[in-house]
């Protein structure tokens, strides 16, 4: 009997290359098996997503704020 909630308790670990149970942290979740950060996406999905983002972004990343101004 398949458990429909199975994947609700699993996230994809890029290190283990499969869906694993995970530990919740404040902002991230971690694989219980290897400690790697896990994702909601599989790696393929993630890379597609990431690739799309990088194509949209100009190279060099986000502009840096220079803290040249000294407040009196």
**Min dist. Cβ of residue 43 to Zn ion (A):** 12
- Based on the shown chain and the rule CB under 5 A, indicate whether residue 31 belongs to the binding site for Zn ion: yes
**Min dist. Cβ of residue 36 to Zn ion (A):** 5
**Min dist. Cβ of residue 3 to Zn ion (A):** 21
Q: What beta strand segments (E) does the chain contain?
A: 11-13, 18-20, 22-24, 29-31, 37-39
**Rounded CA separation 31/16 (Å):** 9
Residue written as token pair 């699993």 = 10
Which residue stretch of 10-18, 21-29, 49-57, 60-68 sits at the interface with Zn ion (rule: CB under 5 A)?
Answer: 10-18
């Amino acid at each position: 009997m398949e458990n429909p909630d199975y994947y609700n308790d699993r996230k994809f670990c890029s290190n283990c290359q499969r869906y694993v149970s995970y530990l919740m942290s404040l902002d991230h979740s971690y694989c219980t098996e290897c400690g790697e950060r896990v994702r909601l996406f599989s790696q393929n999905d993630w890379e597609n997503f990431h690739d799309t983002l990088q194509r949209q972004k100009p190279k060099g990343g986000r502009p840096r704020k220079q803290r040249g101004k000294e407040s009196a």
